[in-house]
Amino acid sequence: MRKQIVAGNWKMNNDLAQTESLITALKNQAKTTDAEVMIAPTSTNLWAANNALKQSSIEVIAQNMHFAENGAYTGEVSASMLKSIGVNTVILGHSERREYFNETDELLAKKVDAALAKGMRVIFCFGEELADRKAGNEETIVGNQIKNALFHLGAAAFQNIVLAYEPVWAIGTGETASPEQAQDMHAFIRKTLADKYGNDIAETVSILYGGSVKPANAEEIFSKPDVDGGLIGGASLKAEDFFAIVNAF
Ligand code: 13P
């Protein structure tokens, strides 16, 4: 069976004190599902978060990293640096990185390679913009994002890759893809993988949905057969809401 995953992407929110208090609140929540739970605090708080959650089943993951091992890349963080503080999973390709930091498919391919080379797990994000969907181009856009950044990889690499479909028009807008829209796209993504790597690989890759997932809509979205979990932004900043989503499976 595919892993069910709920990951909270905190984005650029929560200073150290806020991180510590949200983690305390998360530890007080009861998990009633088998879903793997992850949180992605900002890079300055990864170390503290990881220490605070050492005895817990919540994994601390990074929101981004650079492709180089080290060197003259002011402001950046490498896979080795993340690994050295016990962070073994990284989100790559988030639409905010693509939009505000000009991250291209080519750059993301290098980042994916660097993370996998260090034995890290990658949550790889992609998704179409509203204009793409209005024009009926969403599958072409999503298919190309996946092919351009991932299809140079061998099949074995997909053991360490989780995909996250996040339609840009649904991120932080309160507008969610309908469960049917999510399912249709997830099925298309799985078929895209199957066409290249075969059914056996495609069936093992978890595909998360992200974009205005809330306690009120999580259950219906997660009930779709090709939706294996969620990447949660705003609702991951409240422990009760986040765990209501985790427990929606
Ligand atoms: P929201 O849940 O706030 O829409 O954000 C989704 C997201 O971007 C998660 O990575």
| Whole-number pLDDT of residue 153 | 98
How close is the Cα of 198 to the center of ligand 1, in Å?
30
Give me the mean pLDDT over the 184-208 stretch: 98
Average pLDDT of the chain is 97
**Mean pLDDT of the 43-62 span:** 97
Q: Which of 96-110, 167-181, 223-237 is least confident?
A: 167-181
CB distance 99 to ligand 1 below 6 Å? no
| Residue 211 clears pLDDT 90, i.e. is over it | yes
47-60: string of b/e by CB count within 10 Å (b at 16+)? Answer: ebbbebbeeeebbb
Q: How far is the CA of 34 from the centre of ligand 1 (A)?
A: 22
State in Å: Cα 152 to ligand 1 middle: 28
Alpha-carbon distance 18 to 20, whole Å? 5
User: What pLDDT score was predicted for residue 7?
Assistant: 98
Q: Per-residue pLDDT averaged across 176-181, rounded? A: 94
Nearest Cα residue to atom 2 of ligand 1: 233
Q: Which helix (H) or strand (E) holds 194?
A: helix 179-197
Pocket test for ligand 1, best of 10, 212, 213, 232 (most atoms within 8 A of CB): 232
Cα–Cα distance list, 200 to 28, 41, 195 (Å): 38, 33, 11
Residue 122 sits at φ, ψ, to 5 deg, of -115, 130
Q: Residue 1's pLDDT band (boundaries 50, 70, 90)?
A: confident
Distance CA 88, CA 213 (A): 25
pLDDT confidence bin for 172, thresholds 50/70/90:
confident
Average pLDDT (38-45) is 98
Using a 6 Å cutoff on CB, does residue 211 contact ligand 1? yes
